[in-house]
Amino acid sequence: MQDVMERPRTTDELGPLELEALLESLDLPPGSKAEIIEGEVVVTPAPSFEHESYFARLSHQLNVSGWSVSGNLGVLTPLGRFIPDMTVVALDYWERDSDEGWQPADGIAMVVEITSTNPSNDRDAKRRGYARAGVPLYLLIDRQRKESVLFSEPEKADYAACARRALGEPIPLPAPFSFALEDIR
């Protein structure tokens, strides 16, 4: 009798624990991150100095305004397991009782992506994933296009509204923030 080879399974066919085990089993270079975006495992290299300067300017302004910022929180979305460049939450968010590495989107006030090696994922797939997960605000710092785009009003498939600004122009944030991010360049 001939052995039958098992067909490889796609990420869509794996359960949550198998997905987590898959991501954890990857031997990644220091600073890299692995995500599942629309069924594909995507590995992003460590961020550049320019990328981190955007992160630093944004996080400082959000922190002094009373918000908590994380750069490593894994977020569960209907389109995959994303690790936003920045997750913005109220300080009491961290009081939840959770030992899980991947978190649902509830309680997240805003996510920020700063484009790097594959900007199309940030512009499209991640935008739709965050909207479907119900994240109220998605701020895209698009380094290649030299603009910031604030997406709001999440609906089932996407965000209903967006506001574009050239990098360096203030980015007005609606409630619950109600202030503008300045000097993002």
Residue 139, classified by CB atoms within 10 Å of its CB into exposed (0-12), middle (13-18) or buried (19+), is buried
The predicted structure's pLDDT at residue 43: 83
- The CATH number for 47-181, chosen from 3.30.460.80, 2.30.30.240, 3.90.1570.10, 3.90.1640.30, is 3.90.1570.10
- Residues 86/59, Cβ–Cβ less than 8 Å: yes
> Strand, coil or helix: what is 102?
strand
Q: Strand ranges (DSSP E) for 107-146? A: 108-114, 137-142
- The pTM (predicted TM-score) of the whole model is 0.84
Q: Which of 162, 78, 84, 85 is nearest to 128 (CA)?
A: 78
Along the 185 residues of the chain, how does pLDDT read in single tens digits?
455 555 555 555 666 667 677 777 788 878 778 777 887 888 888 889 999 999 999 999 999 999 999 998 999 999 999 999 999 999 999 988 887 778 999 999 999 999 987 899 999 999 999 999 999 999 999 999 999 999 999 999 999 999 999 999 999 999 999 999 998 88
Distance CA 183, CA 181 (A): 7
Cβ contacts of residue 183 below 8 Å, gap of 6+? 57, 168
The predicted structure's pLDDT at residue 118: 83
The predicted structure's pLDDT at residue 3: 54
The predicted structure's pLDDT at residue 79: 93
Q: Which of 37, 31, 58 is nearest to 122 (CA)?
A: 37
Give Cα 68 to chain centroid, integer Å.
Answer: 15
